[in-house]
Every structure is written in C-alpha cells, then in structure tokens.
C-alpha cells in the first residue's frame, strides 16, 4: 500500500465492550506469529466494539452508534491478524476513509453485517448486506452500489492497480464513470470528493500492524504526510482530468515524490512505446536526474545510462521488480570500476495498467546512507512502497493515455470528415484537390511543411513534379500557402526511400546544429497497388513552444489516412477525366449521327414544296391501307397529311419545314436491311392509329390534343433503329443496349433516338409547346413506345379486357386513358394481322424471315435450339403458328377494342378472316402430309411385292 510507514503505527484504537474494561493493544502483540493470529481469528468470531464500521464494506457513520453489538471477544492481536490476511480489504478501506475524512459524510441506513472469518466469507457478507439494503427503504443518496453479490475479495497482487482493489467498494452514483478507470463497468465516482489514500499514521487509523523488516526515517514519514494523507497521492487522485495531457509533469512529480520517499540519490522513468513493428521499446519520460549524493556529471555519464537502460530492459521483459543491493555482484551488468561514480544499489519496478500490461519502468539509484548505517540498501518495504506508488501512477497513466487516444481519434475523425468534404466537391485539377486535402491535416499534425511527390512515368525511381505546402502561424490560427518549387529544389532522399520500400518512414534526427523530424507515406493505387505518389510531412512544432518534436503514431495514421484519400482523389480525378473524355466522345458521335441522320436540304425542299394529296386519294382513312407498291415520296406525303388532317400543325404551331425535316429524319432512323421492322412498318402503324382516331369522334373526345400528338409521334418512332432481333437476344448476347437499359432494351433505345431527333436542330416540332406541355408530351411518348413491348402488353391486357364488363367506362382518369393509349399502340403495331389476305401473307413471310434469321444466330453463337417461331426447321408450320398467334395475342385485343369502340370493328373482322385463311392453309398442309404418307406407303408395298415375285 502507498506510503506504508511502520513508525506511525505504534498504537491501535481503544476497544471497549459492554461489561469489559477498555484495553489497549500493546506493541508486544505484534511479536506474535502470523500463524497464531490466524488461528485465533478462525477459532473465534471477530466482533469488535467501535471497529464494526471499520470492517464493514457497507460502512456508514450510523453504524458507529451500534458498536457495542460488534465488540464481543475482539482483541488487538486478532485485529492485526485479520488486517494482515485481508490486505486488499484494508487498502479499500483506507481509500474510502480518506474520502470520507475529506468531505461531509452522507447518512446511510444503519447496517449490521457480521464480520467474516476469512476472505472467502466476504461474498456472504456482501450478499447479506445487499439483501438487507434491498429490504429497507431506498436510499436517497447512496454511497455504494454493489453490482454483483458473487464478487469475492481476492488477495492483492504486487502490481494491482487502484481500480481493482477499490472495485468492490466504490461508490456508483448517477451512473457516472470515473475518469480514472473508464474501462471498469463498476468503478464510478459519487458526488463526494475523489478518493485519496490514507497513510497508516492518519488520525482515522491510529493502530496498524508493525512490520519489523521495514524501517524508514522520521523525516521520510513526515515527507509523506506526517500522520496525514499522502500529499502526492491525494493531489493525484483529486486532480482527475487535470492531469490529462500532462504526462511529463505527472511522471516527473511521481519520480520526485518516490525518490524522496525512498531517499534515493538518483532516479529516472521511461514509458513503453511500440515501434512500427509492434515491438515494445522504452522512451524517456523523466531523464536520469540527481536527487542528492552524486555529481551531475557522474550521474548522467554514458556508462550509467547504459547500465540503467539494461536494468530497465530486464524489468520490461520480465514484468517483475528488480532490487539490486550490490550491482557489482550481478554478472548480467557491466559497471564502471571507478569507485567515485560507482552505482551501488538499484531498485527498478514496472509500471502496469489494470490489464497487467507494462506501460513504463521506474528506476531508483543508490539509497542515501543514514548516520547509523554504513551502507544503505533498498528494502522490501521500499520495493513495496515504490510498487504501490507506481500502481496508482500506472492507473492514472493508462487513463491519461486513453484520454489522449480518444482526443487523437476525435482529431482524426475531424480530419477525415474535412478530407471527405474536400473530396466530395468538384475541382478543376488533381493538384488542387491534393493541395486542399494536404492542407487539412497540417494543422492537426502541427507540421510546417507538406510535400506530395508525383513519380515520373518514364523513370520509376524519380519524381516528375511536387506539390509543396507551407504553414505560417498567425496568432492562434495558421495559414497554408502553396509554394511553386521545382523537383530539384526539394530534398527527395526520404521520399525515394519510401517509394522503393513502399512503407511509411518516421524519422527524427537531432544534433547540436539542427533538428529534423519528418514522415513519408506512400500513396497506393487501390487497384494495382502501385505507388502513385509519396506524401511527406516535415518539422512538427511543439504545442507549447517553437521547438521541433518527433511525429508520433497518431501523426502517422493521419498521414496514412491522407494517403488513402489521395489515392481516392487520384481515382476520382481519373474517373472524372475518363467521364469528360467519354462525354466529349458522345458529343462527337451525336454530331456525326445528327449529320448523317438529318435529311439533305434538297429532300426537305422537295417535300416542303410538294402538293400533299388528300387522305381519300392516299386511302389512309381505310383500315385496309397498304403501302406496298407506294413510292417512298408518297409515304412522306401521307405522313404529313395525317398531321395536317388531325390539325396538329395548326394547334401546336408546328413549323411546316421542321415537320418535313422531322418526317424525313425519322425515315432515315430506320434500317433498310431489316425485313419487317422498317419504315414501312412504322408508316403502317401510324396509319392504323390515324384511321382509328378519324373513324369516330369518340376517341378524339376522350384524348386531349397533346395526347393525340404524342400518339402520332410515338407510332412513327416506335421502332427506330430496330436491329431485326428481339430483347431476349440482345440480353443474351450482352450487347451494350442491355447493359444500358436492363429491360425493354429495344423500346428504350427507340424512345431515346426519338428524343434525339426531336431535339435535333431543324427537327424540333415541339418547340411551340410550353415547358410543362413539353415534359408531359415526352412522358406520354415514352410510355406509348414502351407499351409496344409485348411483355408489357401481356401484363396490362387483363385490366383492359376487364373494361368490357363495365356498363360505362369513365375515361376521365389519367390511369384509364394511359391504359387505353397503351392498348391502341399495341393494336396499331399488330395491325398487319388485320390487312387483306394477300397483304397479310406477304407481311407474315417478312416477319418469319426476320425471326428465322435470329434463330440461326442463336444456333451459331449460343449453341442452343431456338424457340418454335424462330426455328427455321418449323417453316412448314407457319400456318399453325399464325393461328396460335392470332388466338393468343391478336383476337382478344381487337375484340375488346371493337366492343369499346364500334368504329374499330373492321380490325376484328380482318383478324377473323385471316385466321380462317391460315387455318385453311394449316388443314391443307395436314392433308398434304397425310396424302404424302399414303403415297409413300403404297410405293413401298409395290416394291415389296415385286421383290417377292
């Protein structure tokens, strides 16, 4: 226990009982052996008068009023024996009593625990005390909160920290964790002043067992409190968070106090630090200094320092104290033979935290010789006193380091947030981005210079350019400047070492002329793991002065974080550069596409100046319209006539020349090498929509003018740039279209090309619309084109077919009108099945030609058997497939449309007639197969009979 002074423990407190006379424990009682005292303790219950509060872990001042109940049979020697057996409890009591002595005591309910016979009985005592406490009324201001009734008091280890030997008896009020042990789940402070250790000679404890082997001078006892609390310990524990950040001052005070307490001539203290490889190394915290007896030159000589370092290395490796009463006799160490500077005795103990990890080593040199002793050595009691002091110091150091770690982590988090904010903003160049991120960590690391070296592309062992930043302090703030430097102006040696080694370099050099501190960290490409840059910080300034100091591990981590962000910044810059290049490439491609897709000026003039025939002469009002044999210029004129007769040119102020250019440009958007999905199919689809709209006024009443405009544009553009293959083939072959859109790839592509043409200079037929109308029309065009995907039709047709079951359908709902527009788009797209038989048969052959070509590609590329309608082997089954196509897809749609709108009945009628014709062909094909089989069988019979003859 800290400051254990046997001279001040000459008497014990008087004990009295109800009928017995007071008796004082004499010093002779201490001469009894420890074994006899323990036997006496075990044979008789320890009940004290006036000392029941002393041993109770739930002590309160009120318990002193009931002390007569605890006094029976207690003697001084039994008290001493019990104290010896329960040193951990005694220490806890000392700390608790010191706290109570330095602050007003809070009243508690009187408790009457029975004194246990041994340390193993403490669990029962705690259980009973806790049970008694729960049974009573709640304490308004409790001092104790025992978290577990099963906790048992353990013997005190030589290096146990305060957080362990106070743990079971520590106040826990308001759930506040103690700054001295934040890792402990039970160790918390109450609102009372912080605990302070009690020297054995304090008035609160007038008697304590004497230890014959421990003798110290009266001056030392006076130094440690003169019967009062230990001043250093009290100041340390009461200081709380005031020590945070003052490790050097804390260690210096501890070494001075312990050195004077042990009457040492010299002392020093080193703290444990991990190197880059994770190995423990000692770093000087308090240099070897004189406390008396030796000259400064001799004390700080190189030989002495080497000896001290060797001793501390042994203590660090073993984790155990080392008390050398004569260093010259220890073969492990070589010492100076000069008698005038000879180190005689050395006491070194490890400083441990609550996890029993060594966090430092302290050394005491040459105990000062007293007048009555020729040669003084450090005794076992000195070792114990020093160890106990260092236990408390280790506890505080651990928390100081924890506080420092949390503070550094807060700094690091702030730096990371700032660097992330810089990275998230748009920057014009990669160098500007790196400069801003480097400037964010310079204030955190207190570095004066930051340099980023960019390696050369030609020579891997050199740098092509540098980004150099300098920090200039302006009062409490600092200003970061970027200085233009050539590569040759800056020392590259350390950066080159880092570039070649590809690992962080932390260096600190000190000489009489100059000091240098720097860190170099490689910046890696996350993909290739190549070093793409080297970050270097130089000249770290001290927080309180202008002196240079070494960069610590936290600075290394910040620089490594900067390196990671620099790598991200480089990837970001490269991604931005690639994006810009691709954007430029796309713009160039669009310019080329616009040039080649736009109709020639001469073609536009011809169409613009042509006299447009009437709808009747062009027969575009007829559901049986066919463009077969129609000259191409007449198809353009027919398209223009549709827009004129629907009054779209007048209603939307469409420029006539723009309309002509748009029609011709749309024609150029269709591929000529596709058998079916070409311009003729687009014209036929638009004509079917026009015929349905003009056949009755009902549809023109249901739809607004904008909806009619969107439908006509969508029908003409719904298959732009069709490749003659289906969506399934595009997805299976992983074409860019499937990667770009995911689903309905062709339909999305058709819409985007439609939008490109509408925005092309000279083809902007929607320029007369307001912004809101423009967005609305584009949205309707997109939905109408996507509706031509048969997958979408199959998903929505059940809802549309259900409309026929209603007596009256309300088309005021946008949802209902959108459904109607989608179904009319499909009806127009499939209208070839309603054309006259000769036209239907011609178109069916074109469709089968396109489908069989895709099937051949699938066989060759994917080595699979195509579906039935795309398998060329099923070409003879075309009539059967057409009948199935009509029954499954077409007939239900046209039946519903004709039911809702009588004027569309010709579509249903044409579909029925074509079904009958295809069914007739299917029967003929079946009869032909049967007759072929019959002829073949007869031929075989004749050959067989001739053979037999």
Q: Taking a C-beta distance cutoff of 8 angstroms, is the pair 399, 181 a contact?
A: yes
pLDDT of residue 249: 81
pLDDT at 915 > cutoff 50? yes
**Contacts within 8 Å (CB) and 24+ apart, 916-923:** 917/837, 917/840, 917/841, 918/879, 918/882, 918/883, 918/886, 919/879, 919/883, 921/879, 922/879, 922/880, 922/883
Predicted confidence (pLDDT) at residue 69 exceeds the cutoff of 70: no
Q: Which of 558, 414, 541 is nearest to 472 (CA)?
A: 541
Q: Beta strands 358-367 and 447-455: pairing type?
A: unpaired
- Give the strands of the sheet with 322-324, arranged side by side: 280-290, 264-274, 358-367, 346-352, 322-324
Helix (H, G, I), strand (E, B) or coil at 269: strand
**pTM for the structure as a whole:** 0.55
State the burial class of residue 877 (Cβ atoms within 10 Å of its Cβ: 0-12, 13-18, 19+).
Answer: middle
Q: With a cut of 90, say whether residue 856 has pLDDT above it.
A: yes
pLDDT for 923 beyond 80: yes
For the ranges 25-34, 97-106, 391-400, 845-854, the lowest mean pLDDT is seen at: 25-34
Q: Note the pLDDT of residue 77.
A: 61
Task: Pull the structure tokens for residue 659.
Answer: 């309309």
Lowest mean pLDDT among 291-295, 368-372, 861-865: 291-295
In this predicted structure, the answer to whether residue 196 has a pLDDT above a threshold of 70 is no
For 500, phi then psi, to 5°, come to -80, -40
Nearest to 406 by CA among 161, 183, 176: 183
pLDDT for residue 302: 72
Whether 311 contacts 269, CB under 8 Å: no
Q: Are 846 and 637 in contact (CB under 8 A)?
A: no
Over residues 38-43, the mean pLDDT reads 42
Instruction: Using the predicted structure, report yes or no on whether residue 771 has a pLDDT greater than 80.
Output: yes
Q: Which of 267-276, 489-498, 585-594, 642-651 has the largest mean confidence?
A: 642-651
Q: Kindly indicate the confidence band of residue 293, based on its pLDDT and cuts at 50, 70 and 90.
A: low
CA distance 945 to 709: 76
Alpha-carbon distance of 839 to 844, in angstroms, equals 9
How would DSSP label each residue in 348-381?
A: EEEEE-TTS-EEEEEEEEEEPPPTT-SS----HH
Instruction: State residue 784's pLDDT score.
Output: 97
Which has the closest alpha carbon to 883: 847, 925, 920?
A: 920
Gyration radius of the chain over CA positions: 49
State CA 337 to chain mean position distance.
61
DSSP-assigned states of every residue in 680-743: HHHHHHHHHHHHHHHH-HHHHHHS-HHHHHHHHHHHHHTTTT--SS-HHHHHHTT-HHHHHHSS
> What SS3 state is found at 259?
helix
Does 355 score more than 80 pLDDT? yes
The whole-number pLDDT of residue 119 equals 37
The end-to-end CA distance of the chain, in Å, is 131
Q: By the 8 A CB rule, do 320 and 349 touch?
A: no
Confidence of residue 822 (pLDDT cuts 50, 70, 90): very high
Sign of CA dihedral 905, 906, 908, 913: positive
Bridge partners, 281 (sequence order):
273
pLDDT of residue 742: 81
Task: Find where tokens 């994917």 sit.
Answer: 862
Q: Are 620 and 641 in contact (CB under 8 A)?
A: yes
Q: Three-state SS for 184?
A: coil
Query: What tens digit of pLDDT does each residue of 872-905 get?
Result: 999 889 999 999 999 999 999 999 999 999 999 9
Q: Is the pLDDT of residue 41 over 80?
A: no
Which pLDDT does position 37 carry in this prediction?
A: 37
In this prediction, residue 214 carries a pLDDT of 35
- The rounded distance, in Å, linking the Cα atoms of 312 and 300 is 16
Catalytic residue among 143, 159, 677, 749: 677
The predicted-structure confidence for 472-508, as pLDDT tens digits, reads as follows 765 556 677 777 767 677 888 888 888 888 888 888 8
More confident residue, 334 or 23: 334
Residue 251 burial (CB count, 10 A): 24
Beta bridge partners of 471: 480
User: Phi then psi for 432, rounded to 5 degrees?
Assistant: -65, -40
Phi then psi for residue 901, to 5 deg, are -135, 105
Contact 448, 541 (CB under 8 A): yes
CA 151/CA 128 separation, integer angstroms: 13
d(CA 465, CA 28): 86
Q: Which of 201-210, 467-476, 519-528 is predicted least confidently?
A: 201-210
Longest dimension (CA), the chain: 153
Could you write out the DSSP letters of every residue in 23-92?
Answer: BPPPGGGGGS-HHHHHHHHHHS--B-SS-HHHH-TT--GGGGGGGGGG-TB--HHHHHHHHHHTHHHHHH
pLDDT for position 768 = 93
677 is an active site residue: yes
* DSSP reduced 3-state for 331: coil
Q: How far apart (Å, rounded) are the C-alpha atoms in residues 858 and 939? A: 40
**Structure-block tokens of residue 293:** 């007896």
Of 139-143, 247-251, 689-693, 923-927, the poorest mean pLDDT is in: 139-143
Rounded to whole angstroms, the Cα distance separating 618 from 612 reads 10
Q: What pLDDT is attached to residue 704?
A: 96
Q: How large a percentage of the chain has pLDDT more than 90?
A: 34
Give φ, ψ of 275 to 5 degrees. -85, -175
If DSSP codes are grouped into helix, strand and coil, which group holds residue 15? strand
* 443 or 784, which is more confident: 784
């Amino acid at each position: 226990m800290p400051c254990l002074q046997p001279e001040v423990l000459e008497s014990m407190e008087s004990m009295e009982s109800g009928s017995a006379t007071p008796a004082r424990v004499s010093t002779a009682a201490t001469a009894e052996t420890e074994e006899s005292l323990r036997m006496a303790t075990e044979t008789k219950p320890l009940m004290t008068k006036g000392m029941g509060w002393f041993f109770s872990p739930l002590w309160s001042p009120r318990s002193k009023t009931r002390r007569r109940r605890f006094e029976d049979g207690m003697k001084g020697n039994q008290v001493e024996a019990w104290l010896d057996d329960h040193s951990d409890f005694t220490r806890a009591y000392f700390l608790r009593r010191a706290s109570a002595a330095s602050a007003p005591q809070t009243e508690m309910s009187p408790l009457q625990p029975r004194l246990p016979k041994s340390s193993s009985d403490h669990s029962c005592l705690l259980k009973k005390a806790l049970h008694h406490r729960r049974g009573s009324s709640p304490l308004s201001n409790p001092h104790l909160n025992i978290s577990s009734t099963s906790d048992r008091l353990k013997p005190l280890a030589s290096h146990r920290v305060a957080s362990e030997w106070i743990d079971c008896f520590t106040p826990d009020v308001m759930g506040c964790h103690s700054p001295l042990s934040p890792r402990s789940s039970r160790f918390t402070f109450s609102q009372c002043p912080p605990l302070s250790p009690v020297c054995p000679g304090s008035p609160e404890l007038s008697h304590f067992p004497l230890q014959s082997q421990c003798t110290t001078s009266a001056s030392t006892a006076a130094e440690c409190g003169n019967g009062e609390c230990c001043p250093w310990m009290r100041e340390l524990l009461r200081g709380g968070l005031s020590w945070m950040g003052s490790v050097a001052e804390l260690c210096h005070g501890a070494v001075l106090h312990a050195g004077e307490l042990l009457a040492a001539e010299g002392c020093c203290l080193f703290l444990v630090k991990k190197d880059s490889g994770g190995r423990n190394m000692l770093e000087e915290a308090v240099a070897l200094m004189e406390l008396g007896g030796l000259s400064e030159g001799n004390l700080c000589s190189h030989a002495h320092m080497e000896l001290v370092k060797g001793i501390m290395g042994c203590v660090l490796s073993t984790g155990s104290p080392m008390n050398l009463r004569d260093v010259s006799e220890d073969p492990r160490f070589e010492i100076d033979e000069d008698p005038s500077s000879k180190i005689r005795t050395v006491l070194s103990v490890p400083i441990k935290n609550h996890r029993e990890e060594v966090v430092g080593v302290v050394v005491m040199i040459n105990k000062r010789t007293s007048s009555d002793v020729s040669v003084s050595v450090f005794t076992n009691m000195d070792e114990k006193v020093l160890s106990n002091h260092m236990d408390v110091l280790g506890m505080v150091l651990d928390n100081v380091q924890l506080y420092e770690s949390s503070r550094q982590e807060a700094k690091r988090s702030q730096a990371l947030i700032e660097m992330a904010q810089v990275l998230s903003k748009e920057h014009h160049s990669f160098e500007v981005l790196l400069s801003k991120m480097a400037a964010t960590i310079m204030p955190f690391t207190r570095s004066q210079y930051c340099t980023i070296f960019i390696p050369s592309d030609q020579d891997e062992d050199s740098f092509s350019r540098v980004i150099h930043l300098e920090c200039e302090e302006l009062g409490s703030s600092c200003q970061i400047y970027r200085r233009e430097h050539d590569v040759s102006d800056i020392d590259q040696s350390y950066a080159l070492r880092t570039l070649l080694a590809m690992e962080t370099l932390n260096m600190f050099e000190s000489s009489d002329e100059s000091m240098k501190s720097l860190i170099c960290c490689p910046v890696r490409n996350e993909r290739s793991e190549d070093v793409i840059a080297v970050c270097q910080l130089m000249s770290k300034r001290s927080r309180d002065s202008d002196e240079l100091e070494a960069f610590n591990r936290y600075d290394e981590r910040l620089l490594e974080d900067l390196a990671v962000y620099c790598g991200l910044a480089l990837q970001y810059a490269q991604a931005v550069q690639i994006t810009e290049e691709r954007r430029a490439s796309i713009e160039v491609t669009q310019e080329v596409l616009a040039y080649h897709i736009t109709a020639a000026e001469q073609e536009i003039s011809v169409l613009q100046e042509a006299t447009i025939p009437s709808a009747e002469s062009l027969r575009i009002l007829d559901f049986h319209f066919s463009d077969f044999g129609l000259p191409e210029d007449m198809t353009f004129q027919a398209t223009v006539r549709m827009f004129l007769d629907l009054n779209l040119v007048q209603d939307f102020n469409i420029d006539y020349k723009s309309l002509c250019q748009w029609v011709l440009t749309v024609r150029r958007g269709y591929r000529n090498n596709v058998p079916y999905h070409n311009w003729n199919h687009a014209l036929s689809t638009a004509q079917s929509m026009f015929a349905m709209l003009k056949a009755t006024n009902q549809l023109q009443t249901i739809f607004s003018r904008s909806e009619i405009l969107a439908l006509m544009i969508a029908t003409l553009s719904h298959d732009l740039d069709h490749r003659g293959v289906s969506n399934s083939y595009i997805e299976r072959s992983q074409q860019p279209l499937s990667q770009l859109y995911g689903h309905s790839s062709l339909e999305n592509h058709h819409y985007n090309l439609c939008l490109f043409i509408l925005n092309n200079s000279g083809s902007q037929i929607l320029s007369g619309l307001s912004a809101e109308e423009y967005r609305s029309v584009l949205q309707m065009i997109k939905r109408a084109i996507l509706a031509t995907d048969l997958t979408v039709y199959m998903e929505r047709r059940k809802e549309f077919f259900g409309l026929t079951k209603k007596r009256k359908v309300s088309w005021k709902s946008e949802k209902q009108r959108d459904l109607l527009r989608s179904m009319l788009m499909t009806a127009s797209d499939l209208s070839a099945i309603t054309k006259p038989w000769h036209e239907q048969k011609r178109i069916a052959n074109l469709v089968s030609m396109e489908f069989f070509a895709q099937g051949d590609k699938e066989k060759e590329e994917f080595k699979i058997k195509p579906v039935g309608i795309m398998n060329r082997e099923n070409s003879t089954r075309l009539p059967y497939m057409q009948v199935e196509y009509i029954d499954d897809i077409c007939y239900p749609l046209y039946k519903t449309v004709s039911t809702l709108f009588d004027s569309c009945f010709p579509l249903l009628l044409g579909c029925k007639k074509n079904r009958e014709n295809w069914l007739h062909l299917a029967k003929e094909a079946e009869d032909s197969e049967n007759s072929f089989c019959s002829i073949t069988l007869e031929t075989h019979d004749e050959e067989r009979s001739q053979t037999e003859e």
